[in-house]
């Protein structure tokens, strides 16, 4: 952002706009989950076809993240972010048109996913670059709060609005929110070359640590979604909750996730390793606990809240560490971590689907817990020892 840092109010407004954009993108990604039956009935397609609007979205983000980092590497971030939010707004409004059938809706989802892939690559470096390097973790924490609010507020609110005003109505609102973010960023974010931002490169480049963090992301997310994809079945078939109660339990999960990122964010700069290791450990505990004690309603609720308070901080902490240890441009490193996350979502869901008929729904949580233990083992892998002859030049 050049040698002169913008005024505090301006920096705060840009971060708020990026938080709103993260909230809007995350809500857009997952909204069809809450509108599944309404969309299927109106569009005349199966529930699986509507589910593909979410699965295909995540896979698109996974595949496109790294190429997006390379293609957009030299574009001024003010113009790039404004363009991406413009795509989000237009795609949302196209989705809301009465005449749109499943095919054009799928195309609009692909456009939104392409925009989101590039947005996640640049959002972090843009935001942290507005502040001193020592505040990187706290800024990433704020952005994570914006994204987490989509689970707690965005998707439930969109589901309610869709039930009362038709499934297309929430997409109109998402387009408006994207436009608000676009205007704020276009007006307030300074124009500069990406390389001029101090967040363009890691503060402590370390290729080995970077690979450890990305591997942790892939393993922990695969473990999470191997079980969590089928959490409704666990709560109904194993814990004995009815359908209405399941919604309440999942809301508690979302509140715990929001609390987790809110409490962990301010600690990222002071305790970078602990803020990743602790939530990975508690995620493993929660998944294994749901396998062992999921038949107890009290235990199931408590363990799901522990899971929510763990999984959101895990990704936030990996993103924060990537900003520190990136061996090259941070945007490329963040793209690799984002790709690992989205591959983990798809791989976890597929793994769970394969295990479900063999080991039952509880077994998917056991598999997820063991994979997360694997992530913990990767984090604990000892640093290579450097011989004295190499470490001390003559």
What DSSP line would sit under 37-82, residue for residue?
A: HHHHHHHT--HHHHHHHHHHHHHHHHHHHHHHHHHTTTS-HHHHHH
% of the chain surpassing 90 pLDDT:
45
| pLDDT over threshold 80, residue 142 | yes
Give the pLDDT mean for 46-57: 79
| pLDDT over threshold 60, residue 46 | yes
Distances (CA, A) of 295 to 64, 75, 235: 41, 53, 8
Per-residue burial over 177-210, b = 16 or more CB atoms within 10 Å of its CB, e = otherwise: bbbebbebbbebbbeeebeebebbbbeeebeebb
Q: Which residues contact 318 (CB under 8 A, 6 or more apart)?
A: 213, 214, 216, 217, 276, 337
pLDDT recorded at residue 198: 65
More confident residue, 1 or 31: 31
* pTM > 0.85: yes or no: no
Q: Which two tokens stand for residue 357?
A: 């008929």
Give the pLDDT mean for 166-185: 96
Q: Which two tokens stand for residue 350?
A: 């597929």
Give the pLDDT mean for 261-266: 90
Write the DSSP assignment of 237-262 as a string of letters. Answer: IIS---HHHHHHHHHHHHHHHHHHHH
Distances (CA, A) of 384 to 10, 209, 324, 381: 44, 11, 20, 9
Q: Are 75 and 193 in contact (CB under 8 A)?
A: no
How far is 169 from 187, CA to CA, in rounded Å?
A: 28
Give the pLDDT mean for 197-203: 74
How far is 105 from 8, CA to CA, in rounded Å?
A: 40
Q: Which residues contact 201 (CB under 8 A, 6 or more apart)?
A: 326, 328, 329, 330
| pLDDT over threshold 50, residue 254 | yes
| pLDDT over threshold 60, residue 104 | yes
How far is 209 from 326, CA to CA, in rounded Å?
A: 9
Where does the pLDDT of residue 14 fall: very low under 50, low under 70, confident under 90, or very high at 90 and above? very high
Q: Which residues does residue 201 pair with via DSSP β-bridges, in sequence order?
A: 329
Q: Which two tokens stand for residue 309?
A: 């308070």
pLDDT recorded at residue 2: 43
| pLDDT over threshold 50, residue 12 | yes
Q: H/E element holding 96?
A: none
SS3 letters across 7-25:
CHHHHHHHHHHHHHHHHHH
Where does the pLDDT of residue 196 fall: very low under 50, low under 70, confident under 90, or very high at 90 and above? low
pLDDT recorded at residue 244: 77
Cα 145–chain centre separation: 11
Where does the pLDDT of residue 38 fall: very low under 50, low under 70, confident under 90, or very high at 90 and above? confident
Where does the pLDDT of residue 297 fall: very low under 50, low under 70, confident under 90, or very high at 90 and above? very high
| pLDDT over threshold 90, residue 36 | no
Where does the pLDDT of residue 27 fall: very low under 50, low under 70, confident under 90, or very high at 90 and above? very high
Q: 206-219, pLDDT tens digit by residue?
A: 999 999 999 999 99
Q: Which residues contact 113 (CB under 8 A, 6 or more apart)?
A: 29, 56, 57, 58, 60, 61, 64
| pLDDT over threshold 50, residue 185 | yes
pLDDT recorded at residue 378: 95
| pLDDT over threshold 50, residue 265 | yes
Give the pLDDT mean for 306-316: 92
Least confident segment among 9-23, 188-202, 213-227, 245-259: 188-202
| pLDDT over threshold 60, residue 392 | no
């Amino acid at each position: 952002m050049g040698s002169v840092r913008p005024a505090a109010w301006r920096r705060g407004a840009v971060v708020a706009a990026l938080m709103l954009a993260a909230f809007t993108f995350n809500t857009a990604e997952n909204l069809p989950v809450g509108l599944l039956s309404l969309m299927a009935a109106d569009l005349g397609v199966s529930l699986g076809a509507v589910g593909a609007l979410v699965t295909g979205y995540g896979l698109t983000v996974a595949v496109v993240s790294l190429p997006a980092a390379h293609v957009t590497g030299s574009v001024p971030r003010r113009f790039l972010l404004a363009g991406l939010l413009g795509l989000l707004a237009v795609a949302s409004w196209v989705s809301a048109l009465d005449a749109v059938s499943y095919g054009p809706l799928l195309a609009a989802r692909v456009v939104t996913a392409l925009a989101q892939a590039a947005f996640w690559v640049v959002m972090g470096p843009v935001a942290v670059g507005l502040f001193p390097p020592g505040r990187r973790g706290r800024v990433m924490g704020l952005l994570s709060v914006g994204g987490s609010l989509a689970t707690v507020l965005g998707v439930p609110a969109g589901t309610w609005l869709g039930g009362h005003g038709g499934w297309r109505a929430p997409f109109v609102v998402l387009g408006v929110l994207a436009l608000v973010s676009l205007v704020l960023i276009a007006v307030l974010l300074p124009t500069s070359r990406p390389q001029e931002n101090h967040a363009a490169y890691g503060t402590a480049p370390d290729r080995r640590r970077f690979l450890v963090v990305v591997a942790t992301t892939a393993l922990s997310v695969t473990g999470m979604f191997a079980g969590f994809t089928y959490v409704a079945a666990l709560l109904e078939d194993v814990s004995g909750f009815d359908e209405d109660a399941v919604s309440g339990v999942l809301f508690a999960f979302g509140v715990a996730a929001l609390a987790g990122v809110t409490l962990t964010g301010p600690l990222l700069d002071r305790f970078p390793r602990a803020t990743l290791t602790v939530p990975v450990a508690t995620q493993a505990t929660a998944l294994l606990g749901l396998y062992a004690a999921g038949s107890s309603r009290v235990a199931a609720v408590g363990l799901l809240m522990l899971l929510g308070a763990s999984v959101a901080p895990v990704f936030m902490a990996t993103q924060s560490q990537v900003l520190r240890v990136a061996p090259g441009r941070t945007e490329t490193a963040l793209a690799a971590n984002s790709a690992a996350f989205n591959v983990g979502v798809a791989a976890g869901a597929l793994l769970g689907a394969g295990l479900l008929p063999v080991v039952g729904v509880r077994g998917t949580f056991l598999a997820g817990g063991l994979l997360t233990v694997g992530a913990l083992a990767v984090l604990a892998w000892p640093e290579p020892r450097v011989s004295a002859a190499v470490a001390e030049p003559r």
